C-alpha cells in the first residue's frame, strides 16, 4: 500500500509539473505592452496614502492582482530621471548605455547639454521590437518632458508625445489622456503584432493629492486599455525611477546632519593646488554638479600623467568637509573625470549661478509590478534589479533583449 501511495503521488506531481510547463510554454503573446515609470514613486508613501484611494481599480488592484517585486533597486549611484528611464528600457546601467544624467558637460563647448537617443550607446526594448517585426510593431512614448519621452522611445520609435509648454506642468490626467489618445489614433494592440507604449508619470511632489490622482489615472488607464485591447491581450509593467529629492529644510529642522559643498570654490582651490605643484594653469577646465573635468590638453603640454593628476586630486578632495568618496571616470562617456560623492544630507551649490543641486537619496525600496496577460498574482520579497524589466518584456513578446542587457527575465 505504501509503495502504491508513493507511486500515485509521484504521478500527480509529474502531471502537475507537465501542465504548468505547458501553460508557460503556450502563454499568449500580448498585443500591447504598457511600460509605466513613475518618477520618484515611493513604497512608503504608497502605503501611507493607500487608505485615501477612492477605488481598488488602480494601484491597489495592481498590488493585489499583479506579480509584485517589493524590493527593486537601481544598481548604480547618482540615479536621476534620465539615467533611470534609460536603464529601464535598455536593461543595463549607464556604464553601458552612457546616459549618465539629465545633463552633462560637452567636452568641446564646456557647456551643459541634455541627452538624446543619439547619445545612447545601447539598443532599447523598443528598438528590438522594431527589429524583430521588421518595423511593423509600433512604439510610442508619452512623458512630461521631451528628453524623457525621447529616451524612453529609443532610436526607432514611431512617435513621442511630451509637454511643450513647461510653464504649465502636466498632471497624471494629462499623461493618461494622451496615452489613451495615442492608443486610439494609432490602433495600438489591434493586430497580432505586439506594440509598445512607454509612459512616464511624475510623483516627485510626494504629497497625498499626487498619489490619489496617480491612483485614479492608473485605474482609468487599466480600464480603458483592457476595454480597447482585451484583458488578456495587454501587459502592464510599473516601477519607479528609484530616487527621491529630500527637502533641505526638513533635515535642518530635525537636526539631521547636513551641509553645502561649493563646487566652483572646490575647482578654484584644486587649480591653486595644482599650480603650486606644476605651475599656473586651468587644470580643472569645467565643473558640473558633483563632477570635475580635467584639461587633458594642459596636462599633456606639461607632461604630467593623468594618473598622477587624478590621484593627487583625489587625495586633496578627500580632506574637504562633506566628501565621502571620489571616483575616477577618465575617458568614460558623458561624465566628469572626477565624481565626488558627498555625505548623506549634503547638497552642492554653484556660487557663481547660485544653482543648488537637491539632496538626492536612493530609495530603500520601491516596487516592480507586472499585471495582465496571464500573469499570476504573487508577492516576492527577494531584491531585484530594474535591469530585469527589459528582458521580461522581451520574453513576453518573444523577441531578443536589448543588446547590452545581461540580466534574466523576472518571469
- CATH superfamily for domain 29-242+370-396: Alkaline Phosphatase, subunit A (3.40.720.10)
Nearest-CA neighbor of 128 among 106, 99, 157, 100? 157
pTM score, whole prediction: 0.90
Domains 29-242+370-396 and 259-361 share a fold: no
In the chain, what are the domain boundaries? Answer: 29-242+370-396, 259-361
Alpha-helical runs (H) found in 138-171: 146-153
List for the chain the helix, strand, coil content (%; round to 5): 40, 25, 35
Q: Which residue has the cell 480600464?
A: 223
Contact 370, 410 (CB under 8 A): yes
**d(Cα 111, Cα 131) in Å, to the nearest integer?**
35
CB atoms within 10 A of CB 232: 14
Instruction: Supply the pLDDT for residue 44.
Output: 93
For 44-75, the pLDDT digits (tens) are 999 999 999 977 899 999 999 999 999 999 99
Instruction: Supply the pLDDT for residue 256.
Output: 85
Q: What is the mean pLDDT of each run of 10 residues along the chain (411 residues)?
A: 45 42 63 98 94 90 96 94 98 97 94 96 98 98 97 98 88 97 98 97 95 97 97 96 81 84 96 97 96 96 95 97 92 91 91 80 86 96 97 98 98 95
DSSP class of 191: S
- Is CATH 3.10.400.10 correct for 259-361? no
Supply 250's cell numbers: 526638513
Supply 369's cell numbers: 509590478
Instruction: Supply the pLDDT for residue 1.
Output: 46
Nearest-CA neighbor of 342 among 225, 260, 251? 260
For 354, how many CA atoms within 13 A lie in the half-sphere containing its CB?
Answer: 0
Instruction: Supply the pLDDT for residue 10.
Output: 44
Supply 155's cell numbers: 532610436
Q: Which residues contact 388 (CB under 8 A, 6 or more apart)?
A: 91, 368, 407, 408, 409, 410
For residue 368, list its beta bridge partners. 69
CB atoms within 10 A of CB 320: 16
How far are the Cα atoms of 19, 28, 384 from residue 25, in angstroms, in the given order? 10, 9, 24
DSSP class of 357: E
Instruction: Supply the pLDDT for residue 189.
Output: 98
Amino acid at each position: 500500500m505504501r509503495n502504491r501511495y508513493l507511486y500515485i503521488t509521484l504521478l500527480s506531481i509529474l502531471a502537475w509539473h507537465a501542465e504548468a510547463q505547458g501553460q508557460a510554454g503556450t502563454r499568449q503573446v500580448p498585443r500591447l505592452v504598457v511600460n509605466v515609470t513613475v518618477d520618484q514613486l515611493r513604497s512608503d508613501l504608497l502605503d501611507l496614502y493607500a487608505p485615501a484611494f477612492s477605488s481598488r481599480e488602480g494601484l491597489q488592484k495592481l498590488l493585489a492582482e499583479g506579480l509584485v517585486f517589493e524590493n527593486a533597486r537601481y544598481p548604480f549611484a547618482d540615479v536621476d530621471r534620465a539615467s533611470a528611464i534609460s536603464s529601464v528600457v535598455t536593461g543595463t546601467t549607464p556604464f553601458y548605455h552612457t546616459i549618465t544624467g539629465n545633463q552633462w558637460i560637452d567636452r568641446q563647448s564646456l557647456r551643459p547639454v541634455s541627452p538624446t537617443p543619439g547619445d545612447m550607446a545601447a539598443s532599447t526594448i523598443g528598438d528590438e521590437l522594431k527589429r524583430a517585426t521588421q518595423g511593423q510593431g509600433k512604439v510610442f512614448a508619452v512623458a512630461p518632458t521631451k528628453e524623457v519621452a525621447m529616451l524612453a522611445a529609443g532610436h526607432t520609435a514611431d512617435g513621442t508625445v511630451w509637454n511643450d509648454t513647461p510653464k504649465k506642468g502636466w498632471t497624471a490626467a494629462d499623461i493618461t489622456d494622451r496615452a489613451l489618445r495615442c492608443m486610439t489614433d494609432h490602433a495600438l494592440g489591434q493586430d497580432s503584432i505586439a506594440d509598445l507604449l512607454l509612459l512616464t508619470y511624475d510623483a516627485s511632489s510626494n504629497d497625498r493629492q499626487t498619489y490619489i490622482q496617480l491612483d485614479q489615472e492608473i485605474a482609468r488607464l487599466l480600464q480603458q486599455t483592457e476595454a480597447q485591447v482585451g484583458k488578456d491581450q495587454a501587459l502592464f509593467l510599473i516601477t519607479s525611477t528609484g530616487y527621491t529629492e529630500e527637502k533641505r529644510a526638513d533635515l535642518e529642522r530635525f537636526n539631521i546632519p547636513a551641509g553645502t559643498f561649493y563646487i566652483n570654490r572646490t575647482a578654484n582651490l584644486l587649480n591653486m593646488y595644482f599650480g603650486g605643484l606644476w605651475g599656473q594653469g586651468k587644470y580643472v577646465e569645467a565643473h558640473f554638479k558633483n563632477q570635475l573635468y580635467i584639461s587633458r590638453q594642459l596636462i599633456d603640454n606639461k607632461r604630467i600623467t593623468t594618473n598622477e593628476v587624478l590621484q593627487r586630486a583625489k587625495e586633496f578632495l578627500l580632506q574637504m568637509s562633506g566628501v565621502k568618496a571620489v571616483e575616477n571616470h577618465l575617458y568614460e562617456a558623458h561624465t566628469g573625470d572626477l565624481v565626488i560623492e558627498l555625505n548623506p544630507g549634503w547638497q552642492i551649490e554653484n556660487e557663481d549661478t547660485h544653482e543648488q543641486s537637491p539632496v538626492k537619496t536612493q530609495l530603500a525600496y520601491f516596487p516592480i509590478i507586472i499585471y495582465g496577460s496571464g500573469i499570476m498574482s504573487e508577492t516576492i520579497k527577494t531584491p531585484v534589479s530594474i535591469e530585469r524589466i527589459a528582458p521580461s518584456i522581451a520574453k513576453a513578446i518573444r523577441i531578443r533583449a536589448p543588446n547590452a542587457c545581461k540580466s534574466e527575465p523576472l518571469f
